[in-house]
Amino acid sequence: MHQHSHHRSHGHSQVLTALHALLSFSPTSQQNSRTLPPLIWDLKHPPATARPASDPRHHVSPRLFAQHATSPPTQFFRITSGLFPYSWHIDIQNPHGVTVGDVLEGIFKFLRRGVDKYEFANASRTQSARVAESFYARVQRSHDPRYEQSQGVRRIDWLLKHTMFVGLTPSLDAPHTWTLTMKRDA
């Protein structure tokens, strides 16, 4: 059930950390230039809407959400992405071991947080315009546009149209760190 792995050195021994298959993205899982993610999940929606690619008619079961995200289990899990500003990362902690559900909820909650004025000010003029366009499109699609507009730009808007989950790959930079890959929504 686990695919991607991290090698960590502890003295003379190495610990191999494997990532749960539902979270794992492998560049070798591409076919005809189309990415085949393990989950069909639009990050604009809660994790409960995610469906396994192997059985897209059904949502992911609570049993799968409760499984550990890594083997062996880890209490700390960090996610980065090339689409995030450098200072953004998602830190997930669970003293009993981070689960698949913890990871998906962590991503969703992180992307629902507001973008502060300093983060927005550091974006290029082109990026700011694209983020603003994404924000107004999200507000118009929302069930409560007035409320969404009052909440301001959210981190999901920063992703522009790249809101489809593809998966996580091990970071080469740090232990317990994974890189989030996304693709454009349809």
Q: How far out from the chain centre does Cα 66 lie?
A: 17
Mean pLDDT value of segment 148-177: 91
Using pLDDT thresholds of 50, 70 and 90, give the confidence band for residue 26: confident
In which band, very low, low, confident or very high, does the pLDDT at 28 lie, cut at 50, 70 and 90? low
Within a domain: residue 160?
yes
Model confidence at 13, pLDDT cuts 50, 70, 90, reads: very low
* Confidence check: pLDDT of 12 > 80: no
- 142 falls within a domain: no
Cis peptide before 72 (omega within 30 of 0): yes
Tell me which residue range forms the domain holding 29: 2-113+154-183
Q: How many domains does the chain have?
A: 1
Name the strand (E) or helix (H) holding 158. helix 155-158
Task: Determine the average pLDDT of the residues in 25-48.
Answer: 75
Amino acid of residue 34: R
134 within domain boundaries: no
Residue 140 in any domain: the answer is no
- 95 falls within a domain: yes
143 located within any domain:
no
pLDDT range class, residue 34, cuts 50, 70, 90: low
Integer Cα distance of 186 and 40 in angstroms: 12
Spatial separation of the C-alpha atoms in residues 67 and 134, rounded to whole Å = 34
pLDDT digits (tens, 9 = 90+) for 96-155: 999 999 999 999 999 999 998 888 888 889 988 999 999 999 999 999 999 999 999 999
